[in-house]
Structure 1
Amino acid sequence: MLRKLYFTFLLLILISTPQLLSQNSGISFERLGIKEGLLSKEVQFITKDAQGFLWLGFKQSISRYDGYHFTHFPQAEMLFGLSSDHKGKIWFANINGLFSLDEKSLKIQKEISSNLHDAFPENDHYENIYADSQGRVWSNDFNNIKCYEPQTKHLKVFRITPSYQFNIFKSRFVEDIQGRVWVTNQWGIQCYDPLRKRLWKVLKNQSVSDIAFLSKDSVLFATPNEGIFLLEISLKRISPFVKLPSKSDVPVFLKPAHLPSHFWLGTDRSLYLFNAQEQSFIDFSNLREEGITMKDCYLDTQNQITWLASSVGLLKHDFAIDATLLQVDLPKKLVAFPVKVTCFFHENSERNWLGLSHTGVLSWNEKNNDFQMFAIPNGAPVNQLLKDDTGNLLACTQRAIFRLNLEKKSWEKLISFSTNIKKVCLTRQHQLWCLPEWGAIQVYDWQTHQLVQPWKELPYQNFFQQNVFTDILETEDGNLWFSAWFPKGFGIAHFDIKKKQFVLAENQNKHTDFVTDYYLSLAYHAPNTIAISGYGGFNVLNTVTGKIIRTGASGNLKLKGGNCNSIVLDKKGTIWMGTTEGVCSVGKQNQVSYFSEKDGLTENDVVHGYSLNSANQLWLGFTNQFNILQLERLQQKHIKSNLKISTIEILGDTTLVNTHESLVFEPQQNNLTIRLSPLNFKSASQNHIRFKLADIHENWIDNGNAEMISFSNLSPKQYELLVQQGDSQGNWASVPLAINFEIKPHFYQTWWFQTLLGFLVLVAVYSFYLYRIRQIKEIYTVRNKISADLHDEVGSTISGINIISNILKQRLIEQPENKGFVERISEDAKKIAEALDDIVWSIKPQNDSLENVLSRMTRYASELFEAKNINYQLQLPEDLSGIALPMEKRHDIYLIFKETVNNIAKHSQCTEASIKIMIQKKSILLSIQDNGVGFDTNQKTDRNGIQNIRERVNKYQGKLDIQSNPKTGSLFLIDLPI
């Protein structure tokens, strides 16, 4: 526990001086500016919330960054500070007071209001915001350190100035492991003891820029003029530690770095990485040359990233890349710039050889970073480095091959070439095969250095003249494989050392298996496997069978650019290719990823010096430097999923999501784009996403590197979206992120509306049913009344006429000339009575069934045929129950039957008749036949019987077929729908 004490502080001349600055040392920064989405290039503050989002403070704005996009929260006033606590709040201040922003709901709340109407400016300022682990919010004004406790809404004020001041000063806060808050400013160092709830003045009257813990008991603090000091807390002792690299630098912050005993020192004009153990500084001269002013620093230990706020934007250093990628600068003192590293040869774990585009060959000792130059005569470009069977280093230039005498540090020319050579291979047969830029392959006997011809014959005439060979490789069986450009074929071939002949791969494979006719590079992978890359992708062959066993076309794999310049296979069988878009890796399951400038690579255009050593390191040559890529680290399977929803785009409008609440959308909001972020702030190429909707998608849908998932025309229901995070090597997190959301139905799609609508439909149907029943009953009543009236009134009248006509016939016996008139009256009355009887019968509702119709038809036919002494047969259907007919149709069917039977009885002169009535699915079939005199169906007649039958049949789209000839009888076939 600190008691009130004052350290005796003597401003002594520092006896410790910093070691010689090392420049860059492979540490690189990615810069994010206005082009990447920042509102301003001058970033003032940096913090990170509990979810993992990065928050930036500008002069008049706050921004949230998810690794893909910036979301801005503009402020009307100038920002005084920005910090995040561990309880889900972002704290900031401006002239109007102290504010909190809920990191999930993104709602802003004013915690303390400024009093702009009094005479005390201290009430109006909460500068340099800092939230400690207990949720207390620290700040300062002109004269005081302020501590606000959100739970109690209590504000504590600690006066630190010796006299009243009117100038705002800069304070920085840091909390130690005991929960004490240390404060630095122009008034010295103060420390807040949470047990005593007092702020002690540890150091007075000395301006301190920032403080950082070297250990639990020792503290380093930076001063503007005197350098860095060491404070030993238990000994109550302050001592000079090291001078600043430049007297003109004014420290802004001193923050822990990713390495033990290392600290980031930001100044008003540059940045340094300070090694406290060695008391040395790494200077970033490129930042110094730009005159960058550093503002703030945040160490993201979870993602192994250092974030730096500066006057030129947001700087990002991914120190995980330091363990993955090493950038080594060539020594200017040994070689003139610019120079390219064209090739490598790995002698052992410490010594490596670098071929250069001019001057010669560099030897590099990786352990002590020591370079040695071995100049080539005339400084010719070195195309290739290799060793002969005695272990001597060979350097191949376009016009000669040299052997190094390591003791004398000189080169001996062994062979001079007559043409430009770009690639050589020294075989087990002690032959040197040389590939020229154009023309025939040259082969030298390595012992005699004389040209030889190993092949018996060539595959075809002008084989060398028509093709261009690009690479050569010897396999374990001694055969030589070539990549080439075959304009009239496919550029893969090998030389069979036993048969002494060239074998074209196109003769052993389907032409559709080749990705191109122009191949550029070869790589061997045991056992018996080679890979060949070129324009359009790559192929993998079995060297024993000569068969293509794998095809990786650029179009199918969506390879960027399409040009695969160089190729190697690592120990796991992953293919690594140099392209114009960086280093491309293709896994065994064809998962594709890129390592590019965004990941720290010097350049995207990987063309020169491509080599894989035994330690699974990929060496890449560039201008003035080379990179070493640790493939093992790139392939690690540690997926820490921290997927979060960043924003949701609804019908094209971006909406900030309150993750405290359920995601419920209106019916018209059924077109969604959900933006996600793993919040690891890695290059997009290193993050992969796949998703599926539960109970809808059976398999995962690969979303590639895209961070947004879009859905259109979603039906109203509840959904569960499962999202899985993966890496560039095809590894996936075991537990997916589950996002539950709901699309609300339209009111007419809700259960209550559909229930109500169904009820109303049932009511309407039932009402219509009742109405129809009443209507039918009324019709039945009217029909019964009509039939009764006709029967009672008209029927009695006609009966009276018939009776009177009979009486008249008896009384007119003596007047035979009037008897015919009376008989006619009697006959007409009888017909009227029969017709009236038919009408009355048809009107009665009781006779609507087909069974009643057939009963009346058979009764009529029986009476008529018996009266005429005609033998007849009747065949009726057995089951007629349930078949009802409309009144009009029932009446017409009866009349059709009656008319047909009447014609037979009156005109056919038959002695026999047959009537068959059959019921089919939707029709009634009448078959009426006699053995009478028949008639000519084509002869016109003035009788209306047949015409009436035909009209009634046509009325119902029925069918009438009359088959009759004179003296052969007649057959009536009538088919009527029912």
Structure 2
Amino acid sequence: MKKIVYAICLLVMLIVTKAQAQFNSELSFARIGLEEGLSQSAVLDIVQDSQGCLWLATQDGLNKYNGYDFTVYRHDSRDTTTLANDFLYALDIDVHDRLWIGTESGLSCYDANRDAFRNYSLKDSLNKRLAVTHVAIVDSLSLLFLAGNRLYMFDVHEGLSKPAELTGFVDVEQCYSLTRRDSLIYIGTDKGLYIYSGGKKEVRKYSFKELENCRILTALMQAPSYLWVATEGQGLYRFDLSDATVRHYTARGERCIGSDYVRSLALDHWNRLWVGTFTSLNIYRQEDDTFEQYVNDPSNPASLSQTSVRSLYCDRQGGMWMGTYFGGLNYYHEQKNRFRYISRMPGRNSLNNNVISCIVEDKKQNLWIGTNGGLNLYDKQKGLFRAFTTADGLPSNDIKALQVDEERQEVYIGSHAGEFSILHVPSGRIENFMPSDRVTDGRSVYTLTPKGKDELWVSTVRTIKCFDKRSRTFTDFPMIADGKPIELSEIQLFFEDSKQRIWISDKESIHVFRIVGNTLEQVSLLPAGHELERKKYSVYVSRLTTYSGWAPVTDCTVSMRTKGKWYVILRRMVCLTM
């Protein structure tokens, strides 16, 4: 039996270690704030109900977030079934899915069945309502809360509160924090840290001399034996209950953390510790006993929206939520972090323009990116950008199409009002084909598509041509329907399928052609009145099968193919079966 337990523990350690090793220090955060419907940008507490909705305590109302929209609840002096006050401090949810809220004017309880609140106030000796700053559910019949730095027990059935009389809780004059972790409640006091077990109805004190003069803000137990204690102004403590050792993390100590003012603690699904401080988010690296720190970077929209992290919460889907002080809500999920946001960052080596029309990846996994500001080369290994613009010889900075020839070390470029160009990669020299070369009509090339090893399909606004890479010459391929020449309206996308059929999307419809000599003869594959006769801008025919394909049926659709990867922005698609 001992061998089995040991094996399980070893397996868990290996899994956690692997997860930590794979943890990307360059986290990407999603920001959710006032523009998305959040009522106020200081998020002081976060919980999740049984339906998966998040509840957020702010300084101006209670927010319910379903992942798409916010519902905001506020106090209305004319309605006794609304919140007691709009300034909220704390939240907790009981086994009946009732939400308990600590407000500036007392305790509120939200009943989802009635979509209404019950309010309970507590007054001091001057008959002034006390603010409830912390709430912790004990069981279905009772809860603890802090008001005026005193601990109270609330009877849910009676709707009455009284000073908490807990066995072992003696000589305590000031309570600073109340944190529930499952069935255990941590109480930070002027006499140190206490833990209350709701099941056993007893209080036990942690006798740590390091905490005797600390203002404890929260505590958390991390498996297998670490007790973390956050303080106001004296940093973070880690007590190893297995061997009674203590480690202290401060802003200027040997073991550095972002700030000595530690506001919140949480564990993610990999048992990693997340720490919210006055100046940063910190994530603990157990393998080297250090913290990764994350702050707001004004030039990076994927950084934290604000550096002061007031609340942390791990949802049931493994997402981490960060409530900031006047920075709204931030969200991180490891699946989301597989996508890296690349954008223009003024004053830094970055993409030179955020309007992107095409992307191609070469064999070295470098990205060639066509933008409204020119051609960008992104070296993913070095993390560096290089831009090619009209200053380097391009006829236009508005790049619409790209193709890379690895053997020739050439990049073929189509642009709006700039025609067709070739970048010679080793030298950086740019070769342009201007109107005298009879390349284009309207001086715009919108698509480039390989035609075998040595040729390239080049489509302009209204015409199709074939470029021979060896002779550097172009051949016209006029389009014919029923024996008569046709002209399309603003060609947007071009594709050659495995049966050498040519699919072309213009402003009006999708057209299919077969190659006959040096002409393109239109064929009918789509039934009359098909949905694809509506306006559309892109088409992709699957390379996996000859007989099916996908085509967006709405405007403003962009699809870009690289080697083995797709960079796509689309809304709705229709599958063709032929």
TM-score by length of 1: 0.44
How much has 1:82 moved relative to structure 2?
Answer: 3.1
Matches of 1:334 and 1:180, distance apart in 2: 50
Moved more, 50-59 or 454-463: 454-463
Matches of 1:512 and 1:23, distance apart in 2: 53
Verify the 8 A CA contact 2:297 2:304 in the aligned structure 1.
Answer: yes
How much has 1:28 moved relative to structure 2?
Answer: 1.0
Verify the 8 A CA contact 1:83 1:92 in the aligned structure 2.
Answer: yes
Q: Does 1:296 align with 2:311?
A: yes
How much has 1:322 moved relative to structure 2?
Answer: 0.9
Of the three residues 406, 417, 432, the one matched with 2:456 is 432
Aligned twin of 2:10: none
Aligned twin of 1:503: 521
Paired AA for residue 539 in structure 2? L
How much has 1:427 moved relative to structure 2?
Answer: 0.8
Paired AA for residue 238 in structure 1? V
Q: How far does the alpha carbon of each residue in 1:133-192 deviate from its partner, in whole angstroms, 9 at most, with x for none?
A: 686523334564445576898832589898967xxx64141437xx54323467653333
Matches of 1:189 and 1:29, distance apart in 2: 35
Count of matched residue positions in the alignment of Structure 1 and Structure 2: 510
Aligned twin of 1:137: 143
Q: Does 1:192 align with 2:212?
A: no
Q: Does 1:182 align with 2:191?
A: no
Question: Secondary structure at the residue paired with 1:401?
Answer: strand
Q: Does 1:402 align with 2:403?
A: no
Aligned twin of 1:327: 341
How much has 1:129 moved relative to structure 2?
Answer: 1.1
Aligned twin of 2:511: 492
Matches of 2:341 and 2:137, distance apart in 1: 38
Matches of 1:458 and 1:63, distance apart in 2: 60
Of the three residues 260, 263, 268, the one matched with 2:274 is 263
Q: Does 1:447 align with 2:470?
A: yes
Structure 1: runs of 5+ lacking an equivalent: 1-21, 539-561, 568-609, 622-628, 630-684, 687-727, 730-978
Q: How far does the alpha carbon of each residue in 1:328-355 deviate from its partner, in whole angstroms, 9 at most, with x for none?
A: 4467643464444432223469554434
Aligned twin of 2:37: 36
Matches of 2:119 and 2:386, distance apart in 1: 66
Query: 1:509-588 to 2 correspondence within 5 Å?
Result: 511-513=528-530, 515-516=532-533, 519-525=536-542, 526-529=544-547, 531=549, 533=551, 538=553, 562-566=554-558
Verify the 8 A CA contact 1:266 1:295 in the aligned structure 2.
Answer: yes
Structure 2: runs of 5+ lacking an equivalent: 1-23, 75-80, 436-442
Q: Does 1:205 align with 2:213?
A: yes
Question: Secondary structure at the residue paired with 1:512?
Answer: coil
Of the three residues 276, 279, 287, the one matched with 2:291 is 279
Query: 1:910-921 to 2 correspondence within 5 Å?
Result: none
Paired AA for residue 561 in structure 2? S
Verify the 8 A CA contact 1:45 1:296 in the aligned structure 2.
Answer: yes
Aligned twin of 1:752: none
Query: 1:242-391 to 2 correspondence within 5 Å?
Result: 243=251, 250-257=261-268, 260-267=271-278, 272-277=281-286, 279-286=291-298, 294-301=309-316, 303-312=317-326, 315=329, 317=331, 319=333, 322=336, 325-329=339-343, 333-335=348-350, 337-347=352-362, 351-358=366-373, 360-365=375-380, 370-371=383-384, 373=386, 375=388, 377-378=392-393, 381=397, 382-388=399-405, 390=407
Paired AA for residue 48 in structure 1? Q
Q: Does 1:173 align with 2:179?
A: yes
Higher relative contact order, structure no. (Cα contacts within 8 Å, ≥ 6 residues apart): 2
Verify the 8 A CA contact 2:481 2:522 in the aligned structure 1.
Answer: no
**Cα distance change on mapping 1:232 and 1:430 into 2, 3 Å:** same
Aligned twin of 1:27: 29
Aligned twin of 1:558: none
Question: Secondary structure at the residue paired with 1:279?
Answer: strand
Query: 1:439-838 to 2 correspondence within 5 Å?
Result: 440-453=463-476, 463-464=486-487, 467-485=489-507, 492-497=511-516, 499-505=517-523, 511-513=528-530, 515-516=532-533, 519-525=536-542, 526-529=544-547, 531=549, 533=551, 538=553, 562-566=554-558, 610-611=560-561, 614=564, 618-620=566-568
Verify the 8 A CA contact 1:469 1:482 in the aligned structure 2.
Answer: yes
Which structure dedicates a bigger proportion of its chain to helix? 1
**Cα distance change on mapping 1:427 and 1:250 into 2, 3 Å:** same
**Cα distance change on mapping 1:300 and 1:163 into 2, 3 Å:** closer
Q: Does 1:84 align with 2:32?
A: no
Matches of 2:503 and 2:103, distance apart in 1: 71
Verify the 8 A CA contact 1:385 1:393 in the aligned structure 2.
Answer: no
Paired AA for residue 234 in structure 1? S
Matches of 1:361 and 1:60, distance apart in 2: 45
Paired AA for residue 197 in structure 1? V
Question: Secondary structure at the residue paired with 1:29?
Answer: strand
Verify the 8 A CA contact 1:46 1:55 in the aligned structure 2.
Answer: yes
Question: Secondary structure at the residue paired with 1:171?
Answer: strand
Paired AA for residue 46 in structure 1? I
Q: Does 1:215 align with 2:223?
A: yes
TM-score by length of 2: 0.70
Paired AA for residue 82 in structure 1? L
How much has 1:64 moved relative to structure 2?
Answer: 5.1
Q: How far does the alpha carbon of each residue in 1:739-787 deviate from its partner, in whole angstroms, 9 at most, with x for none?
A: xxxxxxxxxxxxxxxxxxxxxxxxxxxxxxxxxxxxxxxxxxxxxxxxx
Verify the 8 A CA contact 1:346 1:352 in the aligned structure 2.
Answer: yes
Aligned twin of 1:708: none
Which structure dedicates a bigger proportion of its chain to strand? 2
Percent of aligned pairs sharing the same letter: 12
Q: How far does the alpha carbon of each residue in 1:409-455 deviate from its partner, in whole angstroms, 9 at most, with x for none?
A: x33546624343222223127333322245x4333322211233566
**Cα distance change on mapping 1:395 and 1:135 into 2, 3 Å:** farther
Q: How far does the alpha carbon of each residue in 1:899-950 deviate from its partner, in whole angstroms, 9 at most, with x for none?
A: xxxxxxxxxxxxxxxxxxxxxxxxxxxxxxxxxxxxxxxxxxxxxxxxxxxx
